[in-house]
Every structure is written in structure tokens, then in C-alpha cells.
Structure 1
């Protein structure tokens, strides 16, 4: 994945859709461009409608809310791009000579940087996952297949090297992601940033907390 934000990557993707009407296509393309230029929170549906040359009611009729408009664009992009994104992330953070602790630290740093670039999108997706059973049914199994299964392979690999305790890999994965996702949600959704903030220290605390629970004693 490049250093561009997800919205930047999605601008080109919206032009490839074949499942929208002309008006929906224009709305989607305009929304993504304005979200990327002005920020999601700073872009109103009335501004999108004006730029797209449609009535604001047309947006509400097709999408209901601005959040739904964003999700309607981002979900197809995630489904198409997630496999290659996951492959690139694991290439960036894993190498044969790394310990599991080093791999875990590199993964958390990598994903924290990514979420920081896409904080507004992350907030919307987290909020919708909490309240939308339909979104959970659509997105979570796909995420599990692409990302979590790969993590299970990594856990089994490091267990075979004697670095992780002999607990069921699924339980280790659940505990790890509870801590990691909880850290990201707390840091980017729930907690306002203090003036003097050092994420490196927090990352080390998260890594230490996880490793103290799953490191195999010599």
C-alpha cells in the first residue's frame, strides 16, 4: 500500500464501478474527492450535492446519511483491495530473522501509522460496526478470511519456534486482537490527544502487555 490515504486510493477506484446509476456514480466520485480534499468531517452533503450537480435529497434517497454514502464507496474498495493490502503489510513487518515480539511491534507501529492517516474513516467504520449487524455480517467474515487466518499461520509458526505458549492459536489471536483493537479505538476514537503525546511509549506498553501473557517461558 502506498503512503496515500485510503481516500486518495479510492478516487481512481470509484470510476471503475459498474453497479451505480449515472447520478450515484457522480455522487460517489464527488464525495470521495471532497472527503480527500477537505476531510470527511468538514464536507457536508449539501456541498457534495452542489458539486455533483444533484439535489441534496437525491443523496438522502440513495444513501440515507453521509456515513452510509462513505460506506457505500469504501466497502467495495476494501473488499477488492484488502488481499493485496494485507500481503503488503505482512511483507513490510515480517522477516525470518524477527522474533514474534519484533514482528508484533512492527505490525502495531505499521497499523497505527495507517489508522492515523485514515482516522476519520476509522471512526466511521468503528461506529457503524457497533450498531450495524448488516455491516458486521458483510465485513467481519471477509476480514477474518483475509487477515485473521494469516495471523493464525504466524502464531502457529512462532509456536513451532518455541516463542509462544501452547494455548489454542484461536485463543491467543482473540486475546491479542482484543488488546490491539482496544488500543486503537481508545487512541483514535475515544480519547482526545493530550498536548505532549508519545505513541512510541504506548506501543511498547501494548507489546509488553501482550508478550507477558503469551511468551513461552524458557
Structure 2
């Protein structure tokens, strides 16, 4: 498991941010701290308001809903941190002596642990992406530039080694991402009881399914 969840990292970040008013800053700091300590689902806006020393109506006036409050504090953090996070993930799971299949297994296991540690945030972001066109326009291009661009580079590298098919790299990436995103959504959003341990067999099966579609035929 990762040493810190995103919420833990954000606690320090909110303390040094100067982009909000003093009242909004206090709400953000209190919300992130309570989400980290009690869990997002177990934290009410009334508790956040009490901890921040403001009326609950103030939270609704600034943010509208608890989901919007979470997004308001997490999106700036994601945008600031995602490029370095993506780079660190690649460094953790990629090495020159690994095959693409081994890289893919390591990548999926790494991301499973990350989403497990941040599953409440993951659920909120997935839900909001389904319904908010504004969030899609704001977040998806940024995700593409910071994460998918790095994965595309890895795909091109392994294509150069002759491990992957001659399909266009962007097509390979789209098929992979669709299957991987679907797997994580079904595991952590649609599942009533997400596994508490990395499902190695499932991940291996997913990798084999993907490799059967993109492996270079000899």
C-alpha cells in the first residue's frame, strides 16, 4: 500500500495554499483533514462547518454540495501533482529488462493499490465525470496530456522492440485504457464489497486478455 493517501498529501498542501479567502481556506483545511480521518462518506457538512467555525450555510453558499467541496479542494491538487505522480509511477513499474506483459502487470497492481487507498475519492470523481460536462472538459484533456501521453511513449518503446502489434499506438492505448478503466470502475464503484487484497488472478487474466489483442504475431 502507498505510505500516504491523496487526502494525507493534501492536508499539507491546503495549509500553504493562498488561493482562497480565509474562510474558504479554513473550510478546505477542515474538510480534507476530516475526510482523511473519518472517511468521506462518514463526514457531514455540519461537522465540517463546526470544525471550521462557520455556519453550514456558508459551505452550501460557496460549494453547493459536499461532492463539490471535495472536487474544489482535490482538483487543484491533482493538477499540480499529477505530472510528477505519473512520472513516479512509470519509474516504479518500468525497467528495460521487463517485457510489456510484465510492465502491464506491475502497472495494474500499482494502480490497484493506489485506487484502494483512495477509493472514496475515486468514486466521487467517476460519478461526477459521468454527469458533469464541465468537469470532463477540465480534467480529461489534462489527464490525457500527463498520463496517457506517458503510456503512449511506453507503447511506442515496446512496439520498437517488436513485442506489440502494428496497430496504431493510439488505438492500442485506447483499447487498453477502456478495459483497464472498466475493470477499476467495476471493482471499486460497482462492486458492493471491493477486495481488500490485490486480486492477482483477476489482474493476470486481464493482462492476458489485453495481450491477446495487442501482442505481435510471430
- Coarse TM-score class (shorter-chain normalised): over 0.9
Residue segments in structure 2 that go unaligned for 5+ positions in a row: none
Deviations 1:22-51 (A, max 9, x none): 110000000000000000000000000011
Return the alpha-carbon distance in structure 1 between the equivalents of residues 144 and 196 of structure 2: 36
Alignment of 1:1-218 (within 5 A): 3-193=3-193, 199-218=199-218
Alpha-carbon distance between aligned partners in 1 of 2:153 and 2:93, rounded to the nearest angstrom: 15
Change in CA separation of 1:201 and 1:9 when aligned onto 2, cut-off 3 Å: same
Question: SS in structure 1 opposite 2:89?
Answer: helix
Distance 2:159 2:62 in 1: 49
Q: TM-score, normalised by structure 1?
A: 0.97
Question: So what's the TM-score if we normalise by structure 2?
Answer: 0.97
> Compared with structure 1, are the counterparts of its residues 6 and 217 closer, same or farther at alpha carbon in structure 2 (3 Å cutoff)?
same
How far off is 1:195 after superposition? 8.1
By how many angstroms is 1:16 displaced?
1.9
8 Å CA contact 2:165–2:214 kept in 1: the answer is yes
Supply the distance in 2 between the matched residues of 1:194 and 1:87 (Cα, whole angstroms): 27
Contact 2:105-2:203 within 8 A present in 1 as well:
yes
5+ residue gaps in structure 1?
Answer: none
Cα gap change, 1:125/1:194 in structure 2, threshold over 3 Å: closer, same or farther?
A: closer
Deviation at residue 191 of structure 1 after TM alignment: 1.3
Contact 2:188-2:194 at 8 Å conserved across structures? no
Aligned length: 218
How far does the alpha carbon of each residue in 1:164-201 deviate from its partner, in whole angstroms, 9 at most, with x for none?
00001111000000000000000000012278977111
Q: Provide the aligned C-alpha RMSD in A.
A: 1.6
